[in-house]
Structure 1
Amino acid sequence: MASMTEDALHALIGHRFPGGTRRIEHWENWLLTDCTGREQLPDGLVHPVALFHVPIQGAGTSIAELFAIGQVEGAGSVGLDGYDWEYFQPLREDVDYRFDGGVIETERCTTEDGAPYDRFVFSIDLTTPDGDPAARITNHWRLRR
């Protein structure tokens, strides 16, 4: 796939996801926790592993759509450079959280051996039904060109 121009890359900053609401059902939390090999958390607490995919779905987007925004194809084109998860309160099962976010940073970069790649950073805020901040995820992707 042809490389995105630097201007087009910079223009992605400010792109907003549709947003929406989503709940983490008990069965989903149970399965996600079980996949980690850990004990279930008490009192309907959500296992942190849910923050890998739930915010993306809740914000009304998908991995495929994120790939399309960054103009890359397939998992071999994207690397995870890191992620930041901020909790403002415990996340719980069966709560209708609101999800809003978008692209907050992009940068054209080059590896030490001269291979081009783009930094692509998006952030999604989770709020409670009352509008209180619950969490924020910020994912840092490396888009290989």
Structure 2
Amino acid sequence: MKIYVLCAVLFFTPTVFGIYSSAIWDALLHANEEPCGRSAGLSEESIESSRRARYLPESPEMNVFAFCVIRVLNIMSKDGKVNPDIGSYLVPTNTPDITKVISEKCRTHVGVDAGDTARTILNCYLQADQLVISLPSDAQLTFN
């Protein structure tokens, strides 16, 4: 229940105040990426390099990082299954119709395992300019 309230506040408050901009989301997401990077054993420089390139290179560490981010966005569950309900994805956007189309496309990307799948899905969003990496993995958040 707490996650729904948090999501409502995060999504509706910026809209009410007219501050829904990519610069604000970039700052918010950039500030929160450290836990996923730390859990993956990545340096801030490698994450920043991936951000600038809008591409996560293939590596076990990037797979762990992507899986962490994708789980928080409710695109994948902890067991590595892709969530079919794109309406429940927590992808911040000011263009929901476009994001829905991109989500339909990106969720079909498949890798050799859950981490690789997460990385290919995240790359799809990054290359479509629909997502700025990343969000933290939070043990208190649980997704189905």
TM-score of the aligned structures, taking structure 1 as reference length: 0.30
Comparing both structures, which one devotes a greater share of its residues to strand? 1
Q: Choose 1 or 2 for highest CA Rg.
A: 1
Comparing both structures, which one devotes a greater share of its residues to helix? 2
